[in-house]
Structure 1
Amino acid sequence: MRILVAALCLVACAAPRAARADIVGHMTPAEPLTEARVAGLAAPEREAWLAYLARSRARMAADQASLAAERADGAVPAAPPHAASGDGGMPLGRPAAWYGSPEARRVADNIVSFQTPAGGWGKNTDRTGPARQRGQHYIAIDTVPGAAGPRKEVWSFVGTIDNGATIAELRFLARAQAQAAGAAGHAYRDAFIKGARYLLEAQYPNGGYPQVYPLQGGYHDAITFNDNAMAAVTALLGEIAAGKGDYAFVPAPVAGEAREAAGKALRLILATQQVVGGARTGWCQQHDALTLAPVGARNFEPPSLASAESAQLLNLLMRPPGQDAAIEAAVHAGAAWLKRVAVADVAWSEPVSAAVSASAAAEGRKLVAKPGAGPLWSRFYDIATMKPVFGDRDRSIHDDVNELGAERRGGYGWYGDGPAKTLDSYARWSRGHPPPAAR
């Protein structure tokens, strides 16, 4: 019944209106993590955060100084190419033997060469190309559509967990080293341990993870669940801690630190599940590093409950081992929330080529009524009302996706069906972990 009511409401919202839908708010940019903000904390906690900030600043200075030293002779090679595929040329699902092939070794060598002095990697860079040259930037520089050349070189996302970066590189190295016994795999194992220590160092004192480390400022300093960032880190730390399979080579002290870090991350995840009206719901894309309050990110990403990120976190929490009463309660509540906010009888229209219909292409994607379709989930839900919300480039927040400008409406995944797979997994998981009322 709840889903039906939500669907009817959403169809009504999608229908043509005599007047424009409401702008229900405006985005306030997230605050960066600074000494001034940390100063108000109690002494022991304050010291831990100040030490973190000092370490981050020193790491960035060292990364930048290293690149500058390599360029002292004036030579600046072109930036590495932008990734042409979603996996960045680092497939993780091949048969084990493939990771010992010349093709895989070339990718692994590329990964080792692009590791920053701090131990992380940048995002969206093609790892199938040649190894990094002396003086070459650590990250790809995007090309601006329609521009004559690439963007000006920037220091951005140099060490990040965004878009799977660092996690994918570490997982690939683990597979490559497993097929390279002895000296042949030393470089891969050394780079992996350095990368694992990078993740341990990047973790906030409270267990959260920023999107970029060393810290970049702005919303990048927020605890980031967006695009599975923190869930992916937590899962990898758990596998390193277990010390099995591809990760059996990890020294016991590092595995022990990973176990502790994974535990802190899980406690942070449980602490950030939003409670509304006395009931646990889902999670947001970003939470403030200090207060854990929901915060926005880019201009069109308002502070709100995020269905895709919540589903990803539930997938993590349902993974064995380590189930306990608190985790089980979080999973049952999160799944109930996903069921509550699902919508039916609507569709998120596909893009239309100008060659097919110039007017439809100009109008862009829309939410349309489609009896029998669904379920779908809005990307964002207002925390207080549980109604879908949508952001535009000017930081305005809307209650109707069809009222966004065509560029943002068509350029972002406002609706999706991904949580359905999580609810399927939940149905299987709950047979072995029934809610208390069903026991």
Structure 2
Amino acid sequence: MWNGVSCSKRHPGRVVSLFLQSQGLVGLLSPNIGNLSFLRVIDLQNNTFSCLIPQEIGRLRRLQVIEFSNNSFGGGIPTNLSQCTSLYYLNLIDNKLTGGIVPEIASLVRLQHLGLSVNMLSGTIPPFLGNLTDLLRRSLGTCQFQGEIPESLTRLSRLWFLVMSDDGLTGSIPLGLFNPPSVEHFGFDFNRLNGNIPVDICSTLPKLRRLYLNYNNFSGALPASLSNSSLIESIEVGAVLTDLVGLTSLLADTNNLKGLIPSSIGKLHNLQYITIHENRLTNEKPFSLGNLTLLNALSLALNNLSGSIPQSLANCTNLSELNLSYNNFSGLIPPEIIKLSSISIGLDLSHNVLTGTIPSEVGALRNLGYMDLSHNRLSGTIPPSLGSCVMLSLLHLERNSFQGEIPDSLRALRGLEYLDLSQNNLSGVIPRFLVEISG
């Protein structure tokens, strides 16, 4: 008996399963696989099989499970799979398959799991997939599909995992796809979809845990119904939020979302990551965010936010990255934030209308990797305490109104790779240590 090979007890010598995952196997899959007529399960995931999946696999009428993910199989999906009428699990994710979804797949009426993501499959999503009404999990993302989502897919009422991310899909999501009551994972991000997100999305998807709709062209208001769910763990689209107490990540970047950032977001005390950049959000004081003491990263860049930067963000003592760039924030940089020593990845306040000086408390950012304060109306001298930010690799101070000389303390920034002080009112000579750093 070989490891990973199981034989039938009723029919000795007849192989019924091959569990050969992660064995370092390479080359082609022999057409002789079709001779194992009692085979029910074949698991070859995480190897380096290449070339075509042999058509002979269609001889395996008893086959129930095909697990070929994370290999390098090429060519098309074998049409002879239509003969494997007992198949309920087909996973071809992360290969190099080409062509379209072959119509023979429609014969696999017992299929519950269909995984075709991360391939080079193309064409449109075929309407016949809507006939596979036993499907529980369907993953078609990260391929080269195009066109609209067929209305027939709304017949898949048993789905709990529905992902078609990172394709070239256009049009709107059929409303019926927001109705399967068992859906927990709903992902259509990184497409070119449009329309509105249904206002009752959490009423129609009561078991929803993960929602991914970012990087599309959705418009309209954020659905208030999401506030009725206590199950949601991660959102990448945005929502009116009140009772999502388990939420740890909120990502809604690169959409056309507009309106106010709700003050109720400050009640989500488990939030660690918020990314809502590149939208049309407005609010002078959207910062009940200062209540989120576990927050690790906050990006509100490329919106229409205005007013002063709230001092309450200094309560976010776990914050490692803060990006408020490309907004209309005005007034002074709060010293309480600039001395938040937890900020270690980056601080980006560029492209606003901030005034005043850089607070001397900036020296507390000893572990900061990059700082961008460019394209503001800052003035005064560059504070010598900036030399205490010894981990800086990028420093952007261009397009302000700084005066005076470049402080000698900057010689301590031995890891500095990029420094831009252009278009200010600096005077004096270029310090020799800048030449030494560049060398």
Bigger-Rg structure (1/2): 2
Fold similarity call, TM over 0.5: no
- What's the TM-score, normalizing by structure 2? 0.26
Instruction: Report the structure, 1 or 2, having the larger strand content.
Output: 2
Q: Which has the higher contact order (CA 8 A, sep 6+)?
A: 1
Structure 1-normalised TM-score? 0.26
More helix by share: 1
